[in-house]
Structure 1
Amino acid sequence: MDYVYWGLIVLLFIVAFVGLIYPVIPSVLFIFAGILLYGFLFSFEAFNWIFWLIQGLFVLLLFGADYVANMVGVKKFGGSKAGVWGSTIGLLVGPFIIPFLGIILGPFIGAIIAELIVHKTNWKEAVKIGFGSVIGFISSVVTKGIIQIVMILYFIWVI
């Protein structure tokens, strides 16, 4: 039966990594669900307050990494807050409109549209800002992926 339990825990962790590509899936909740499932099925004994504090700090890092990477990507290429918001909206909506490619095209198009509408930016500059949003998204995915791996490795180390 332990194999089934571990299979469920690993499945929750895998879904957390799917959430890197589909940001509608709250990755961190699936990591915590895996940890909590372990506690309920096996034991919470290994999880002291230091464990929860460290995992909580990782959660803050995850949220911070997402926002900062997107903002830096857009701003570095000359974008504004409107570009950041457009990119974020595009990131959430894109995968539903254009499956798979929408994850890249959504933030790109969202940043372009926001900059064109809000700041009347010229087309060439708006495309450059859209490119920055894609770079921000990719760096965010890599950063969050590393943080999630560390969270899971720390969980494994503690148990």
Structure 2
Amino acid sequence: MDILGWSLVIILFIVGMAGTVYPILPGALAIYAAFFAYGLCITFEPFGWVFWTLQTLIVVALFVADYAVSAWGVKRFGGSKASIIGSTIGLILGPFVIPAFGLIIGPFVGAVIGELFVVQEWKHAAKVGIGSLVGLLSSVVVKVVLQSIMIVLFIVWLVV
């Protein structure tokens, strides 16, 4: 059962970290699920209320930061609500439409199209598209850091 438990934990950690750049994967929820996989297959004994509270707060912070940081990039470059929505749609659909580069092209094109509905000026819309990329890359950095903290806390709780 230990081998199954550790295998699930490692797989869920990999899926979680891959979710930082590929939005269709569950990301933080996969890492959170790894803690339950460990508990169910091995033991919940090392994890008390402090562990679960910290991990839950990090997951909540990840969800808030994911949207807020991406939206910040668009807003910082003068984008409207339509460009934020377009960027989000592009982020979700981009990897399916253009598998190799859709993660970058999708949010950019989505933000530009969204902004063109409001402003109808190509130069401004392109600037907002760049802002969506800045927001996306900033969001990825925040997610990598917070999800790494989740994994490190898990390991620390097992060792201590």
TM-score range for the pair, normalised by the shorter chain length: over 0.9
**What does residue 57 of structure 1 align with?**
57
Shift of 1:105: 0.4
Following the alignment from structure 1 to structure 2, what is the Cα–Cα distance between the partners of residues 145 and 16? 10
SS of the residue 1:21 aligns to: coil
Following the alignment from structure 1 to structure 2, what is the Cα–Cα distance between the partners of residues 145 and 93? 22
**What does residue 127 of structure 1 align with?**
126
1:1-159 map, 5 Å: 2-117=2-117, 119-159=118-158
Shift of 1:152: 0.7
SS of the residue 1:51 aligns to: helix
Q: Structure 1 stretches of 5 or more lacking a match?
A: none
Identity %: 50
- Per-residue displacement from partner, 1:94-128 (whole Å, max 9, x unpaired)? 000000300000000000000112x1330011000
Q: Letter of the 1:30 partner, please give it.
A: A
Following the alignment from structure 1 to structure 2, what is the Cα–Cα distance between the partners of residues 120 and 135? 20
Aligned alpha-carbon RMSD (Å): 1.2
**TM-score (normalised: structure 1):** 0.95
**TM-score (normalised: structure 2):** 0.94
Q: Letter of the 1:153 partner, please give it.
A: V
* Count of matched residue pairs: 158
Shift of 1:4: 4.5
- Per-residue displacement from partner, 1:41-94 (whole Å, max 9, x unpaired)? 111011111111111110111011111111110011110111111101100000
Q: Structure 2 stretches of 5 or more lacking a match?
A: none
Following the alignment from structure 1 to structure 2, what is the Cα–Cα distance between the partners of residues 152 and 8? 14
Following the alignment from structure 2 to structure 1, what is the Cα–Cα distance between the partners of residues 14 and 36? 15
- Per-residue displacement from partner, 1:6-39 (whole Å, max 9, x unpaired)? 2321111000111112111111221122111100
